Structures are given as structure tokens and as C-alpha cells.
Amino acid sequence: MTPRPPGSDLRDAVWAALGTVLDPELDEPITDLDFVESCTVSEHDTAAAPGAVATVVLRLPTFFCAPNFSFLMVADAFDAVSAVPGVTRADVTLTDHHASAEINGGVAAQAGFVGTFGSEAAAELDELRAQFLRKAALAGQDRVARPLVDAGTGPDELAELTLGSVLPSPDLSRLRERRAALGMEHGDEAPLLVHADGSRVTAAQVPLHLRRARLQRIGIETNGEYCKSLLQTRYPTAVR
């Protein structure tokens, strides 16, 4: 077996950490979206400076991607990489963007969105993040419930289902993660179909609720495919 190059295990850990960072609008990891242009790890073996420096460069589909979404991804990537054991410094930057200088400087200084953009920023981005997580959680209900509906499960039964009564799947795990991030119930006893406030959807409400969930899912996925096509056009030599 060919030996793995030094630092490869740590780079794998950094890449896995980047895989937890989502495009807030598309609800997909930046690694799957090919938003990571490069990811390198330089190890320091000296006793005076043990650990490693992780250098990550991000790119986006267009030069004018919204600064708030862009800032969230760069800041989240910085936090995720910085938390990897063995990484002593994370250098995470955004390239080819009209606000790259501001975003990169603000993230490096951990200044927050308002501290970075000053009067141009109305508030920090916590509510924006929560808004998109709520949309993702609604779309996730369609992903999990759609096969059941197609198999003939009716509104009465759907209204009584819990997360634990549904067969395990990547979509179910994803739904649990989004609810957990929102502070909503996500254990086995939690209802499958819930409103934004966490209350159970009644049998009478199921048809309209699932139509809304389906529209939300289609909107997110359509937007995702559009952004992927823009990225491929902008970076035609990129290997996905």
C-alpha cells in the first residue's frame, strides 16, 4: 500500500468539517456544491509551533452573490475549520467576489456581519440563518413524506406519524438535523409533519401543508441547479 502523504488525515478532517457548512439558501454543503476552490494543510513539526495551518479558498457562482449569504458561508467555514483538532490557524477566504476584501477581513477579525459592513448591515445574520433553516425543514417534510403519499398513506395516518415511525433514510437524518439546528423537537417521538412553530399538523391540514412543503422543496432544488450551472459556466475547467 502506498503511504499516505503527511497531513492527509488532517486534511480529510478539514474537508469533513467543510462538509458541514451549508449554503443557507440552497441547503447543500459547500463541498457538494463545488464552492471550495482549494483546501490545503501545512503542518508544523517544531515544538515551538505544533499543529497545522489550514488554508481554504471559497468561490461562488457569480461575482455579485449576496454579501450576507457569502459572509455566512465564509464565517461558518472559518468556524468549522478552526474547530478541527490539530488545526492551530484557519485561513479561509473568498475569491472573485465584489465584497471579497470586506468579507475576508471581517471573518479574519471575527468582527461579525455588522462589524464588517457597518451602516450597510441592518443586523447580524442569525434571523436570516433561521429563516432558511425553517424553509429547509419544511422542504424536508416533503422529501420524507412524499414516498409515503405515493404509496397510498392518507392524511389521517400522516398526521399521526412520528420521526421514529418512518424508515431511516438520508432525508430523514437531514430533517432531524435541520430541526435540531432550529431548537425544534427532532427525537423519535416528534411528529413528522409540523408547522413552523413546531405544532403538529392536523389531518385536515395535511394536504395544504404538503403542497406548501413540495413547493418549498422544488424552489430550493431549482435554485440549486441554477447556481450549479452558473458555477460551471464561470469555472468551466472545475472538476466536480
The per-residue pLDDT for range 76-95, each reduced to its tens digit, is 999 999 999 999 999 999 99
State the span(s) of the chain assigned CATH 3.30.300.130: 8-123
The helix (run of H) or strand (run of E) holding residue 54 is strand 51-58
C-alpha 128: how far from chain center = 13
| Alpha-carbon span 18 to 75, nearest angstrom | 11
The pTM of the full predicted model, rounded to 2 decimals, is 0.89
| CATH number of the 8-123 domain | 3.30.300.130
Q: How far is CA 194 from CA 64, 158, 172, 175, in A?
A: 36, 11, 14, 12
Position 45 confidence tier, pLDDT thresholds 50, 70, 90: low
